[in-house]
Amino acid sequence: MTSSEPAERPEPYVQVRGPVRERYALITGASSGLGAAFADRLAQNGYSLVLVARDEDRLSAVAERVTGRYGTRCEVLPADLASAADRRAVEERVGRGVDFLVNAAGFGVSGSFWSVESAALDAQLAVNVSSTQEFTRAAVAHMLENDGGTVVNLSSITGLVPGRGSTYAASKAWVLYFSQGLSHALRGTNTRVMVLAPGFVRTEFHARAGIDVRTVGDGWWMDPHDVVDQCLVDLRRGKTFSMPGIRNKAFIAAVSRLPRALAQRVNRMLGNAGARA
């Protein structure tokens, strides 16, 4: 069995009251990596998809793939999430009703914080943080008034260990705190917010960010479909935090038990913070 074939077919996550109706999942960052893997799995689960990213051709290729495999109905919604106007268009689509939202669009900026263009940092904040906040708000407001639903926000183990870079890590810490706080606020409702915090995943992320990963051992890497499968298993178990990979769990458990000063020293050594904005 390859990792693009799930071990089991997960149950739907949204409990629909009344007659069965078409269920929608909107995925940002769906043209590549983890977002594209979510598209595969949610299509397999019977969701109709709304696929968001900048590259329309790649979104269409994902749409063709899942339509060919599962007969999925797909809307392709090209948007640059660094642009407020494009975010409004996506927010408007989310507000019309989705049952499952995945905020996977995100990127990192390499280079020292003080030398990179301000515009690149603003774009990173807009894509990693603002879009997550705006789309989650629109989704949750609709979900609470209707059949409930699920939001999955992409953080990272980087968001759990201060010192591994500055703005990217901070954006992922924001996603973690935001999602966990919101999931507490939603307790007792039929609407769930899950935060997904992967370690190293084989996607285009590092190449796009210009991060040299040659020293990262094979054992640290995960396939995006495996990460998504574990996230969906954790959702079915009622968890609101998912950190796939035994090594990642062991690393975070070890670092979080160290005294803060020592943990910072380990992170400085491993994270090459000066080269990561």
Ligand X SMILES: NC(=O)c1ccc[n+]([C@@H]2O[C@H](COP(=O)([O-])OP(=O)(O)OC[C@H]3O[C@@H](n4cnc5c(N)ncnc54)[C@H](OP(=O)(O)O)[C@@H]3O)[C@@H](O)[C@H]2O)c1
Which residues, numbered 146-185, are part of the site for ligand X (CB under 6 A)? 154, 156
Minimum distance, C-beta of residue 85 to ligand X, in the bound complex (Å) = 12
In the numeric block, which tokens belong to residue 203?
């996607």
Minimum distance, C-beta of residue 19 to ligand X, in the bound complex (Å) = 34
Using the contact rule CB under 6 A, the part of the chain among 9-17, 104-112, 143-151, 242-250 near ligand X is: 104-112
105 touching ligand X, by CB under 6 A? yes
195 touching ligand X, by CB under 6 A? no
Q: Given the complex with ligand X, which of 148 and 273 has the nearer CB atom?
A: 273
Q: What is the dihedral of CA 242, 245, 246, 252, to 10 degrees?
A: -60
110 touching ligand X, by CB under 6 A? no
- Quickly tell me which residue has 């629909």 as its tokens: 16
168 has catalytic annotation: yes
Distance in angstroms (rounded) separating the CA atoms of residues 183 and 202: 28
Q: Given the complex with ligand X, which of 11 and 117 has the nearer CB atom?
A: 117
204 touching ligand X, by CB under 6 A? yes
One of 31, 136, 150, 267 touching ligand X (CB under 6 A): 31
Which residues, numbered 224-263, are part of the site for ligand X (CB under 6 A)? none
Q: Given the complex with ligand X, which of 156 and 191 has the nearer CB atom?
A: 156
Using the contact rule CB under 6 A, the part of the chain among 9-17, 29-37, 135-143, 184-192 near ligand X is: 29-37
Which residues, numbered 39-98, are part of the site for ligand X (CB under 6 A)? 53-55, 58, 79-82
One of 23, 25, 26, 32 touching ligand X (CB under 6 A): 32
Q: Given the complex with ligand X, which of 12 and 202 has the nearer CB atom?
A: 202
Q: Are 223 and 6 in contact (CB under 8 A)?
A: no
Q: Are 177 and 191 in contact (CB under 8 A)?
A: no
Q: Which one of the listed residues 13, 24, 47, 168 is annotated catalytic?
A: 168
Q: Are 101 and 24 in contact (CB under 8 A)?
A: no
Which residues, numbered 112-131, are part of the site for ligand X (CB under 6 A)? 127
- Return the active site residues: 168
Instruction: By CB under 6 A, name the binding residues for ligand X.
Output: 29, 31-35, 53-55, 58, 79-82, 104-107, 127, 154, 156, 198, 200-201, 203-205, 208
